[in-house]
Amino acid sequence: MQSRTILRDTDERADSPELRLKYVARFEKLLRRPQAQEVLEILRRYGRDCIPIPRKTERQYWSVSCLPSTPGKALVRVNANWMELFALYADGEGIRAKFLVHLSDFTTDHSLERAQVDISFLERSAAMPEDVGYFFPRGEDIFGIKVRGCRSIGKFLATRRVLRAIRAFNLTHMNRGRNAYQASHCYSLADYMLAH
């Protein structure tokens, strides 16, 4: 999580031709959207920087869905175990992101006190303070962060403290057991996430 040790990943990826074909039409539909290039750019960064040993853990411990049919109209969604980790949505011609993290990583005193959210840090982590917002999903140590615009999402993902928090949350949920969303894994999107 501190990026001091490089965990050994694998060069080979498991593949499922049937599952790959199942979501090709959704992937092609996503590519026709005006936000497609921004989505792929952010997903590449998220896959590279936020998921531990992503090739070895693909589908079994995390998955990415393309235009999922669940509420909210996400363009893409990354899940682990039973938890949504990250999602991208259309925002006019641009995009907005939703990150789920541990609340204690974003409070001034590392507590679970909602009143202690480090708003100043959140605002500094985006290109413009108004591009970031937050919410409190159900769960004791869960915190939701919304970031608007590719530039602000990029800055957010480049902030060391943010990356540590995202990795910690992702690892927590990957360690809880096998991914419940394996059947909705979009290999075409994962190809972009795992391209180095």
Q: What pLDDT is attached to residue 5? A: 58
What does the pLDDT profile of the chain (196 residues) look like in tens digits? 455 555 565 666 667 778 778 999 999 999 999 999 999 999 999 999 999 888 888 888 999 999 998 777 999 999 999 999 999 999 999 999 999 999 999 999 999 999 999 999 999 999 999 999 999 999 889 999 999 999 999 999 999 999 999 999 999 999 998 888 889 999 999 998 988 5
Contact 95, 152 (CB under 8 A): no
- pLDDT, position 4: 59
Q: How far apart are CA 84 and CA 89, in angstroms?
A: 14
The domain limits of the chain are 17-193
How much is the pLDDT for 179?
A: 86
Beta pairing partners, 95: 90
What pTM, to 2 d.p., does this model score? 0.90
DSSP 182: G
Q: So what's the pLDDT on residue 107? A: 97
pLDDT of residue 188: 93
CA–CA gap between residue 119 and residue 115 (Å, rounded): 10
pLDDT at 131: 98
pLDDT at 170: 95
Nearest to 168 by CA among 96, 88, 99: 99
User: What backbone phi and psi angles, to 5 degrees, belong to 88?
Assistant: -120, 140
CA angle 73, 74, 80 (to 5 degrees): 130
**Separation CA 114–CA 110 (nearest Å):** 11
